Structure 1
């Protein structure tokens, strides 16, 4: 006993010597863990959901910079009469963390000498014998058993109010475990009861007092549970815990860093969150090669964010590539969202993960499929094999999916310009058979998808358009002007003109509304196209838009030097073609050639007599970018298909030249290629015979 007392006194003197080296005041924790404190003798725990509008400010410690900085903010802590002390380094032998502690007791701080330390009872007085019992024999706390016994969040708070135990973080973890078993509506109701429970504030107060001495994993798991339970981020409780986590980031192991990453992912940006995220990036940069679990690696990659240094992103990418052999199917599926969260497109990594996803596509949940597609969109990653694999999987299991799910997937496919033919045929048939599910929220997207991708099925196309038009007519009483314009515009692209929707759209008040509100330029562009369709297409309408529309800007002109050179070599000179021809209705063609109706003889533009002849065939050569086609095909998308239709009405024979193909060809090969497109088959065959006969 004397040895123990002597050891205690020696340790106490050593600690006092360290404290006295500073002229500032140090508050000692109950576990004798000496840590820098912010001392405010007038501070008392208040309502934890106070908005802190009365000039409150926070003390934020940048541990990784070894500096203590004060910053003002909406949810900061009070700084009046606050004295700060530097961190005192104490050997862990003097500061064991694994001692039990009753959170109801603390030590006084300011102006108290080492020999006058007194204990304060926050709730009620207890004897020294009771204190010794609680310190040496803490009440056992079985989180799993408690989560099984309790059926609601209030049950946990009731148990806490009867016999609080250390650590209080366990109560939050248990409540989050229970909440995960509930439905969304039940969780909302239980959260409201939790906030109104009289023991909830006491639990939060106890949590703040214990936070400094909790193990790092307990602290982080409890903070994660609080965030998931919906405790507002701007409360004193959350902000205090965030600051404490900043001080103890160096204690985090791989598991703790994973939890911290999940916490930061769920929080909105603020000063303390930004500081933690910056600190996490430094720790990840130092420990990236030591990370063992793939899930932890992906969580950290997701948390570092889009604005992380490119060097850190590259380092994380290399680490992931090293671990590819250990990737599970779930890891591969998750990597798309992880890279999207980093805004880092790693083509090699995405290609390998795509192979894993395609090979294990069956049984993949809808939520995962949508996440993969959305991430591909964010990363601008176009993998036709991946898209076809997903489309084939949904097609073969079509009856298992809701129509709303398939529609959402088709919307994402349309964003890529990808046209899954079999899936769209199935969906078209389902719409015709089960048209009652159509409403204003689904009609416009369906029309947009099928018109944009220029998808039609000969045997069912008219029936499909009639069903969609009938469904739109049933919604005319509640549809907005802009949605009506979008729907009619889609019908125009598909060369279909339902009477009632078009008549309602052509009303002066609706046209005026579209030209003065919303996206006015986009609306004017669509109204111009509608007017063009009403004039050029075979429609039953003789009425056009009688309100003066804003003048459309002329289309930008792009030089096509390679095609011009090929045409000059093929046709025998520039007098046989015209370039950059502007047509009525704001249509533009890159090159125009004039030939006879058999497309075997050329006419120069200088011959005015031929121009007035009725047997002339005008040929329009359009240089088309890859985006004008559906992905990985030569199927024209909606606007190009409409332009070709209108050029035919205006008397042109349309020839499409793919820019990316013609640029790769040598001049002689390109001349042969265009010759087969411009001249008719009979003319080419005759020319070949004549050439052979000359030898």
Structure 2
């Protein structure tokens, strides 16, 4: 069996049809003799037919012709051919030209716009064979049909609706329903333009407007039609349009377990090998916006494999960071380190925005790269002015999640906010102070400004803000020589005004913070000490934390507040913790004082204990020995010295300023008759025995050391 096979040089028209076998050799010879004239006609035809656009074959075998079909019916596609061409005609492309023999030259049926397809190579390497009975073309016929085709194409161009693109939709529409109205009038390909336009419009709306518009969108009669069209187009849509469409659907609130979203997810999985660098970035953004499910997890696993193969080919830092942020905290450590190495390699190309964003990226993938964080911290600190407040918050939150501490970075942020203090809202500054408190960092200048502002303008404080402000200042043990008393009075008045709607736990936190700062507002304390509130705190919520705060409150009322000394709270005992004083400090004291001149692991009332106790004369010039029976004495000629071995976390960051609970313990030990000596455990471990003895001897016998410890209490203004 032979085939009729025609290919034009510039505008490809392919028609395959089986021909009747030649009945004799003479007929075949006759056909070969006419090949020259047929080829000449082909060249003439190629010069007359207008050249069309180039259509490439896409990986799934779909092409994208922009053709408007009128009445063309694929079931009747061979009805206009002669009898010799009516059997088994196969169309390789929908917009192939249809040829018919006769005086009219050639005829187009059902195609309003003539568009040729250009392919790079022949689809079949067969010899060309022609049947002169069924293909006769004259120059006049070609010219005539070309003129008619041009007129029809011009008419169609005037009547054909203009495709609506994404940009036009976002400019002309003010609501999601407007986009759906346009779609219902004249649906166009691709449907991703409509979803992307709706999401862009939704981003311009307020939360209430967005909620209302989404409800109208779901109830719109064209919405289901748009969803159906999107599912039909999924496999022929461009991959980036498919990703944009899926991202917009998720952001618009279309449930993730719907057939629409799951269908697009499956198609994205099937076509993931089409990802280039740009599409990797878009796919990462899509996955970041989606909740975990089986299809999302499979797609994320595929993305990780793809990133592992293409990581060294990524050229743009933004794409690299987007991919890093998406791969997830449970990604293989090998992939995380490979991405870290790629980021370090591109460090010279980091912009200020890239450096700011890297903190969030590393926190999202739960990878603590100290080298990368240090370098980005330098860039952020050097370009801190003009940095948006939201980015500062994101950087500190990421540092907290990564347990990364950089003093220069924290000081740079605090100094910048203090310098521009008047342009920020107090609630934003409070959020910043809360993050600093998580690190134990005490920005003195910024906290002084905030304290003064609160004392002058307390109107912004609600219950949540009150509790947060009190917690920050009590935890960091911050006082100001002029504003502390006024600040505490304003805060106490605000808490008193909120007693009718404040929760029991918030009231306990506020009162406990006041007590740590040695301030005792009567109204708040009396409200807290009511039996029903105490019972609620001991039976609901975080009971263990509540019991601990109530013990601190009871100790402060007994030791610091004369008017509340008679208060007796029936509280459950705190769990007994084993006491293990540092062996290095015990050895130093033994070498310096001797075995019988100090006691270790001493328990005191109000759940306090001290690592070592030393008894000295009134002038603090001589250490007195004492036996185990006579550990506690009230003789006036004996000074009791408490040696506290303090971890680094008991101080504010990068300072020797004691934090709240250490400060109140020192204050209460002083009330109980002790002089307090603080020994830094981490420093003692680094010292040789000889140097450690010298340090402890200075602390024990020097009056300046004792007075310094008392000054650090800052108990009152």
The TM tier, using the shorter chain, reads: 0.7 to 0.9
**CA distance, structure 1, for counterparts of residue 363 and residue 60 of structure 2:** 47
Q: Confirm whether residue 625 of structure 1 aligns to residue 647 of structure 2.
A: yes
The alignment partner of 2:331 has SS state of coil
Aligned residues of 2:17 and 2:90 also touching (Cα < 8 A)? no
Cα distance, 1:624 vs structure 2: 0.2
Q: What is the Cα-based RMSD across aligned positions, in Å?
A: 2.9
**CA distance, structure 2, for counterparts of residue 278 and residue 106 of structure 1:** 44
Q: Confirm whether residue 663 of structure 1 aligns to residue 685 of structure 2.
A: yes
**Structure 1 partner of 2:225:** 202
Aligned residues of 2:581 and 2:600 also touching (Cα < 8 A)? no
Q: Confirm whether residue 99 of structure 1 aligns to residue 65 of structure 2.
A: yes
**CA distance, structure 2, for counterparts of residue 178 and residue 683 of structure 1:** 67
Cα distance, 1:232 vs structure 2: 1.8
**Structure 1 partner of 2:616:** 595
> Which residue of the other structure, out of 281, 284, 290, is the alignment partner of 1:261?
284
Q: Confirm whether residue 337 of structure 1 aligns to residue 360 of structure 2.
A: yes
Aligned residues of 2:69 and 2:111 also touching (Cα < 8 A)? no
* Residues 24-81 of structure 1, C-alpha deviations (whole Å, 9 max, x = no match): xxxxxxxxxxxxxxxxxxxxxxxxxxxxxxxxxxxxxxxxxxxxxxxxxxxxxxxxxx
**Structure 2 partner of 1:581:** 602
**CA distance, structure 2, for counterparts of residue 472 and residue 266 of structure 1:** 40
Q: Any residues of structure 2 matched to 1:667-678 within 5 Å, and which?
A: 667-678=689-700
**Structure 1 partner of 2:426:** 403
- Compared with structure 1, are the counterparts of its residues 683 and 423 closer, same or farther at alpha carbon in structure 2 (3 Å cutoff)? closer
**CA distance, structure 1, for counterparts of residue 654 and residue 579 of structure 2:** 26
TM-score, normalised to structure 2, is 0.78
Aligned residues of 1:391 and 1:420 also touching (Cα < 8 A)? yes
- Compared with structure 1, are the counterparts of its residues 579 and 217 closer, same or farther at alpha carbon in structure 2 (3 Å cutoff)? same
Cα distance, 1:145 vs structure 2: 2.5
Aligned residues of 1:600 and 1:683 also touching (Cα < 8 A)? no
- Equivalenced residue count is 592
Q: Confirm whether residue 272 of structure 1 aligns to residue 275 of structure 2.
A: no
Aligned residues of 1:555 and 1:588 also touching (Cα < 8 A)? no
Aligned residues of 1:102 and 1:135 also touching (Cα < 8 A)? no
- Compared with structure 1, are the counterparts of its residues 564 and 178 closer, same or farther at alpha carbon in structure 2 (3 Å cutoff)? same
* Residues 545-602 of structure 1, C-alpha deviations (whole Å, 9 max, x = no match): 34x211111233234111111111111x111111111111111100010000111011
Q: Confirm whether residue 456 of structure 1 aligns to residue 447 of structure 2.
A: no
Q: Any residues of structure 2 matched to 1:543-582 within 5 Å, and which?
A: 543-546=566-569, 548-571=570-593, 573-582=594-603
**CA distance, structure 2, for counterparts of residue 196 and residue 170 of structure 1:** 20
**CA distance, structure 1, for counterparts of residue 530 and residue 173 of structure 2:** 63
**CA distance, structure 2, for counterparts of residue 362 and residue 374 of structure 1:** 19
- Compared with structure 1, are the counterparts of its residues 400 and 358 closer, same or farther at alpha carbon in structure 2 (3 Å cutoff)? same
The alignment partner of 2:280 has SS state of helix
**Structure 2 partner of 1:122:** none
Q: Confirm whether residue 361 of structure 1 aligns to residue 384 of structure 2.
A: yes
**CA distance, structure 2, for counterparts of residue 163 and residue 323 of structure 1:** 47
- Compared with structure 1, are the counterparts of its residues 501 and 625 closer, same or farther at alpha carbon in structure 2 (3 Å cutoff)? same
Aligned residues of 1:506 and 1:545 also touching (Cα < 8 A)? no
**CA distance, structure 2, for counterparts of residue 327 and residue 333 of structure 1:** 10
The alignment partner of 1:282 has SS state of helix
Aligned residues of 1:101 and 1:166 also touching (Cα < 8 A)? no
The alignment partner of 1:274 has SS state of helix
Q: Which structure 1 residue ranges, 5 or more long, are not aligned?
A: 13-90, 109-113, 119-127, 685-695
**CA distance, structure 1, for counterparts of residue 301 and residue 651 of structure 2:** 44
Cα distance, 1:191 vs structure 2: 1.9
* Residues 614-648 of structure 1, C-alpha deviations (whole Å, 9 max, x = no match): 21001100000000000111100000000000100
> Which residue of the other structure, out of 467, 471, 480, is the alignment partner of 1:444?
467
The alignment partner of 1:213 has SS state of coil
Cα distance, 1:144 vs structure 2: 1.9
Q: Confirm whether residue 3 of structure 1 aligns to residue 17 of structure 2.
A: no
* Residues 334-364 of structure 1, C-alpha deviations (whole Å, 9 max, x = no match): 0000000000000000011111111111111
Aligned residues of 1:107 and 1:117 also touching (Cα < 8 A)? no
- Compared with structure 1, are the counterparts of its residues 102 and 585 closer, same or farther at alpha carbon in structure 2 (3 Å cutoff)? farther
- Compared with structure 1, are the counterparts of its residues 429 and 338 closer, same or farther at alpha carbon in structure 2 (3 Å cutoff)? same
- Compared with structure 1, are the counterparts of its residues 527 and 129 closer, same or farther at alpha carbon in structure 2 (3 Å cutoff)? farther
Q: Any residues of structure 2 matched to 1:240-389 within 5 Å, and which?
A: 240-389=263-412
Q: Any residues of structure 2 matched to 1:26-41 within 5 Å, and which?
A: none
Cα distance, 1:189 vs structure 2: 2.4
- Larger Rg over CA atoms: 2
Cα distance, 1:522 vs structure 2: 1.1
**Structure 1 partner of 2:637:** 615
Cα distance, 1:612 vs structure 2: 5.8
- Compared with structure 1, are the counterparts of its residues 298 and 457 closer, same or farther at alpha carbon in structure 2 (3 Å cutoff)? same
Q: Confirm whether residue 193 of structure 1 aligns to residue 196 of structure 2.
A: no
